[in-house]
Amino acid sequence: MSTGPNKVIHDATKVIKAILTETAWDDPKDLSLDAIATAINVPKRSLQRYFSVAGTSFFEIKDKQRKAISDELLKDGFTINAVTKHLGFTDRTSYTHAHKRWHGTSPTSRKRLLQQEIKDAAVKVQ
């Protein structure tokens, strides 16, 4: 049975999401291309080719997962430092730059917005 690019990319995305959501908070996150290729048992170069054929990249897939999980954690009230560490960023500045690229605003501003949306929704329910 041959493994096509779509399945490989799907598997890689699942592994990245699992690493970001299911590992312990204090564990360092190995989100390298090598680690993901090893986890899904595909040679690194093949994985790079599969991403290329699909018109994406490892960075884009990893970035998309980090963005989604970042919003979930901020909405749940986690500190910026905790989110930074959990998503595997080397420091808060790196996370802040990525966050501004994703949303055009700082993580602190986004956190306030997300938490306000929760409060507004709770008021509507009452």
Q: Rounded to an integer, what distance in angstroms lies between the CA atom of residue 32 and that of residue 30?
A: 6
Under 8 Å between Cβ of 71 and 110: yes
User: Looking at the predicted structure, is the pLDDT value of residue 2 above 60?
Assistant: no
Full set of structural domains in the chain with CATH: 5-125 (1.10.10.60)
Q: What is the pLDDT of residues 31-50, one digit of tens each?
A: 788 888 888 888 999 989 88
Whole-prediction pTM value?
Answer: 0.79
CA 111 to each of CA 80, 82, 100, 103: distance values in angstroms, whole numbers, following the listed order: 9, 13, 12, 11
Exposure of 72 in the CB half-sphere (CA atoms within 13 A):
11
Q: What is the pLDDT of residues 67-118, one digit of tens each?
A: 999 999 999 999 999 999 888 898 999 999 999 999 999 999 999 999 999 8
- Residue 25's Cβ-count burial label (10 Å; 0-12, 13-18, 19+) is exposed
